[in-house]
Chain A
Amino acid sequence: MYDTSDIRKGLKVLMDGNPYTVIEFQFVKPGKGAAFTRTKFKNLLTGAVVERNIRSGEKLEPANVETRDMQYLYKEGGDLVFMDQTNYEQVTISADLIGPAHDLMKDNLPCTVVFFNERPVDVALPTFVMLEVTASEPGVRGDTSGNVQKPATVETGATVGVPLFIRVGDTIKIDTRTHEYVERVAK
């Protein structure tokens, strides 16, 4: 069992039969009142966020949640196949679970897969991926002020907005959380 002093971002707990992860917490204590931890939990199955006040002394039940380092292998229809590098076990995960970042995944990308009661429920990608630009119109000269962007297609097939100076063959860094261009990477 966990108590309030164990609460930290990423802690996995079981509440009403559902696995939750702590996404935010704050210690609260009025001068003459009881201390508690105002905690935001994300349901690992539905993504719903709930806020609970956990009083000092209260217990939280650990969830049977396991995180495994896995490698992305290939796409299979709307699913993605991953492999555990320690035992070569393969699991198939729906692209929906990964969200918009699924088209930024290149073969052999290392990921962290979260399992609840042996079932995959979440995939954490590296924050940044480096991908080569395979198609993009040349930028129009003279319109370089501000954040003017043009679409570019990268090697995984995804389309991202990039600055006008990016050319086919450039490698760019993309933030998987926002699906946005970050910078050009020196070759």
Chain B
Amino acid sequence: MPAALRGRVLAIDGELAIVRGERGDVRAHAEPSWRPGDLVDQAVVVRPFPGGDYPGPATEVARLPRRRLALLEARGRALAVVRRFFAERDFLEVETPLLVPSPGLEIHLDAVRAGDGYLITSPEYQMKRLLAAGFERIYQVCKCFRAGEHGPHHASEFSMIEWYRGFAELEAIIDDTEQLVAAVVAAVGQDTQARVAGRVIDVTPPWPRLTVRAAMHQWAGIDVAGDEPAAALVAAVRAAGIEIADGTAWDDAFFAGFLARVDPALAALDRPVILEDWPAPLAALARRKPGDPRTAWRFEAYVGGIELANAFGELTDPVEQRARFEHDQAIRRARGREVYPIDDKLIAALAEGLPPSAGIALGFDRLVMLATGAPVIDDVLSFAAGEL
């Protein structure tokens, strides 16, 4: 029994038209009056249109690949799952400004200028002010902007899920992360398998854990203390057979080793990994572990080699926070990068009192990639930068 449907005529192929409706692209009987671009409501479906080139000139709509529509639908469902997840865990959804005077002071992040200020690189500062104001469990899904970032896992404008728990430790955030990822993957895909580069990764909680030092020792043969001089770490990286220039900074030396050896090893695992206990120099906004000042309360979630989320046991000491911001400013100045102002209102909020908190930023676009198996971030954006 042929079905009639509503949709837009993408192309006409003699007797048949290709019509995009709610259930995908189909071949339908073409009425003589139809032209590409027409909206029709009585198309008589002949058979599905599986893809391939459009016969004849096609509409602008047709140029958005069909596969993208399915991915955007998955993205919408994933967002609904995220909101339900946080509602069930009694989190309040908040919205903080995207346009701010101080965009986040990190040595390696460049902000996008807008008007008299900048677009946020993360909603962290304002969300912490809300924590200080008395909220205990807050989350938001918002756009963040980082200048000059474009690659298979990077878009200059992207979506972040960021959440905080007051009076909580990182352990609770790890549980949130594992459960959230499993819920989204299960709802969007068919099972508990995330997909990366054609491989499947079982995201069933709990996830294996590994310290950064153990990972660097095991896969790179590099022992990282956290307080050694940069030159010593450079020598260790070189001894591991990795090309590195003299005078390389401590953090750059660390990542030279990490990206050459640990990153590919993480990518080869069939389970996600919670990579924890980061050396203190790599955690500007995190508390130090009691009894171990060389280690910070920080973890990252890696799934199939994709850096999905970064979490901190939040630094609550305003004096220490200002000192670290000034340190980062000095480094940016020395490297000839734009120096952003310190967010005094954040420091003031810390001074008034931020409860012991833990928080995390998780890349929503990357989560959708993992749930759908999309290989590049542009696939899960409605329109990528190059399509505007």
Contact = CB atoms under 8 A, between A and B. Distances in A.
A33 B252 CA distance: 7
A19 to B, nearest CB: 22
Query: A-side binding surface: helix, strand, loop or mixed?
Result: loop
B93 interface: no
Interface in A1-58: 5, 26-35, 56-57
Nearest to A25: B151
A29 B149 contact: yes
Interface string B236-265: 000000000000000110110011000000
B106 A32 contact: yes
B303 to A, nearest CB: 14
B80 interface: no
A109 to B, nearest CB: 27
B310 A27 contact: no
B310 A31 contact: yes
Contacts of B150: 27
A32 B282 contact: yes
Interface in B280-300: 282-284, 300
A31 B148 contact: no
Nearest to A52: B243
Given A28-B259, A30-B258, A35 B152 contact: no
B151 A29 contact: yes
B307 A30 contact: yes
B89 interface: no
A32 B254 CA distance: 11
Contacts of A26: 151-152
A105 B173 CA distance: 65
B23 to A, nearest CB: 34
Contacts of B336: 57
Contacts of A35: 108, 148-149
Interface in A54-102: 56-57
A34 B282 CA distance: 12
Q: Most chain-B Cβ atoms within 10 A of its Cβ — which of A5, A26, A27?
A: A27
Nearest to A55: B252
A32 B151 contact: no
B275 to A, nearest CB: 11
B310 A34 contact: no
Given A33-B251, A34-B252, A35-B148, A27 B154 contact: yes
Contact of B255 (A5, A27, A30, A56): A30
Contacts of B307: 30-31
Nearest to A34: B108
Contacts of B252: 33-34
Interface string B139-171: 000000000111110100000000000000000
Nearest to A56: B148
B245 to A, nearest CB: 10
B376 to A, nearest CB: 10
Interface in B148-205: 148-152, 154
A29 B108 contact: yes
Interface of A: 5, 26-35, 56-57
29 contacts: A5-B148, A26-B151, A27-B149, A27-B150, A27-B152, A27-B154, A28-B151, A29-B151, A29-B154, A30-B255, A30-B258, A30-B259, A30-B307, A31-B300, A32-B106, A32-B108, A32-B282, A32-B283, A32-B284, A32-B310, A33-B252, A33-B254, A33-B259, A34-B251, A34-B255, A35-B148, A56-B148, A57-B335, A57-B336
- The 3 A-B pairs with the shortest beta carbon distances in the complex, nearest first, are A27-B151, A33-B255, A34-B108
